Chain A
Amino acid sequence: MLSGITMGQYLPGRSPVHRMDPRAKLAAAALAVPAVLYSSTWMTIAAVTIWLAAVAGLSGLRPGIYWRSMRPLWILLLLSFVVQALFTPGEPLINIGPVDISEPGLLQGALLLWRLGILLVLASVITFTTTPLQLTGALEWLLSPLIRLKVPVREMAMIINMALRFVPTLFDEARLLLMAQQSRGADFTSGGIRERVRGLAPFMVPLLTNIFRRADDLALAMELRCYQVGAPRSRMNELHFAAADFAAVAVTVLLLAFVLGCRVLQVAKVAS
């Protein structure tokens, strides 16, 4: 479970990408996604790839890290390639038994592989360079217009932040509880389904009791410090847009414009 770099983990650093306003990062990423999905010519593919390589380079993280974080997903990527290659109709190029592989199939498969890979690296850049707290802050700001539509954006952000804060604590507590009950002979590994479920009581009951007690104390502590559900709150680290942020978003807008332009003008496609 904890071997090497997990996808989605935050890796501390001081690179330009780390220091970007998280809202700009999310916005740029959101603009980049259609750019990736609509790229189907050699020019646009090259443009997007160069853009992403530049971003990854600016993130200050060794390329090997991106590679290793994608390792668990290689099989999925390969499978996607194979399925796409096999099931795209066209003139058979290679013949393996009952299965025909056509040139369009290979190109389509390669394109799909490229798209998935690019999206994964993009997601990794965001999560490697942005703390969960920053991400929820950015999401909260970006979704804040929805508050007018009675969507509980601020409450959801608070819930996510609290979960992020307490999940590690709860994991630790659960591990401790497991050990304590095992020290009294609790066996969670043997027996049929019914026995195992019954055997979980010494673990689940105190765990849930402690969770609720914690939640109760937390709610009280927050109330005592004048927290009010849904009321606007200030931040310790105020988010400020800087020149770099505007530049990043501008570049992504240009990239998207380029991709859409090529598509509209029906410039030579690699595949669709």
Chain B
Amino acid sequence: MPCIEIENLTHTYFPGTPLETTALRDISLLVDRGETLALAGATGSGKSTLVRHLNGLLAPTSGRVRVLDGDLADKNFRRRLWRRVGLVFQFPERQIFSGMVYEDIAFGPRNTGLAGPALRDRVSWAAEAAGLPEELLYADPAELSGGMRRRAAIAGVLAMRPEILILDEPGAGLEPAARENILRRIIELQAEQGTTVILITHHLADAALYADRLALLEKGRLTAVGPVAEILSRPDLLDTAGLEPPFTVELTRRLAAAGITLPETPLVPIEAAKLIASLLVPGVAS
């Protein structure tokens, strides 16, 4: 059941001026309700431009885009779409403006009209969902660590309970443990709420771990979309898109080139270890 239908989407910035740039060319893509789609591509490939249509910030220059139950051609629909489609920008902690974490998280839901006890509950819930300890709600964001500020910013978007959640490199600049923590929580939330998640990432290993499908963008064009394992096993596609395959995929490829074929393509190191062990020691379950 698609909740996003993109048909021949093209977006041009500054049309008709010397600065004219076509950021997206003829993109067609369907996103199902409740799925996790990873979106990957080199810098400038159009990932940000694409997702900014999905919450109504941008309108297509040509093509048709339906999000949830409305068409992006409708200006009023676009103006209200932020309530249902949450977009977490890269380095979201940069947009924190309040002197108290609680107030910043409450900003979004307040704008949707929530108030009083319902608002308080929502803020508490969002903080917990993002992994932010309760007592930090009353702290000054400036005194928090980078990781906690990141969680606070994400909580600010989660607090609006969007039906579609788009995250632009949520782990950027964080140490691996923190990244894993945030991503895991998002997936947990998704399982609970049925949220559709779109994850923009350079780290294809994240796509492997957390996403159902992977879409590749290259210079504004969609070059591939399909199940993650399938796309990752195509090093040629990844290469032209300017991306590096995850370690395990590359390992499998090189082993194959050396004559050692693993029974399946592992997506995470532990899987790879088990598969290799099963080949080395016959009888060991993989």
Contact = CB atoms under 8 A, between A and B. Distances in A.
A162 interface: no
A185 B111 contact: yes
B36 interface: no
Interface stretch (B39-47, B86-94, B171-179, B229-237): B86-94
B97 A205 contact: yes
Given A5-B18, A185-B82, A203-B97, 6 more contacts: A2-B14, A179-B57, A181-B97, A182-B57, A183-B87, A201-B97
B17 A183 contact: no
Interface size range of chain A in the complex: 20 to 34
15 contacts: A3-B16, A177-B94, A177-B95, A179-B57, A180-B94, A180-B95, A181-B97, A183-B57, A183-B82, A184-B95, A184-B111, A186-B111, A202-B97, A202-B107, A206-B97
A184 B160 contact: yes
B87 A4 contact: no
B149 to A, nearest CB: 12
A182 B58 CA distance: 12
Contacts of B160: 184-185
Nearest to B57: A179
Contacts of B98: 205
Interface in B140-164: 156-157, 160
Given A176-B89, A202-B107, A181 B95 contact: yes
B155 to A, nearest CB: 12
A169 interface: no
B89 A184 contact: no
Contacts of A183: 55, 57, 82, 86-87, 89, 157
Interface string B1-39: 000000000000010111100000000000000000000
Interface string A198-227: 000111011001100000000000000000
Contact of B89 (A180, A209, A210): A180
B66 interface: no
A210 B89 CA distance: 16
Nearest to B17: A2
A184 B14 contact: no
Given A2-B19, A4-B17, A176-B89, A184 B97 contact: no
Contacts of A4: 17-18
A173 to B, nearest CB: 8
Across the A-B interface, give the 8 residue pairs with the lowest CB-CB distance, nearest first: A185-B111, A205-B97, A184-B108, A180-B95, A183-B87, A180-B89, A202-B97, A206-B97
A171 B83 CA distance: 26
B96 interface: yes
Nearest to A206: B97
Contacts of B97: 181, 201-203, 205-206, 209
A184 B126 CA distance: 14
Contact of A184 (B16, B19, B82, B94): B82
Contacts of A187: 111
A179 B82 contact: no
Contact of A182 (B14, B82, B157): B82
Nearest to A9: B18
B228 to A, nearest CB: 27
B112 interface: yes
Contacts of A185: 82-83, 107-108, 111-112, 160
B240 to A, nearest CB: 28
Contacts of B89: 176, 179-180, 183
B64 interface: no
Interface string A1-42: 011110000000000000000000000000000000000000
A206 B82 contact: no
A134 to B, nearest CB: 22
B185 interface: no
A180 B156 CA distance: 11
Residue among B17, B96, B97, B112 with max Cβ neighbours from chain A (10 Å): B97
A185 to B, nearest CB: 3
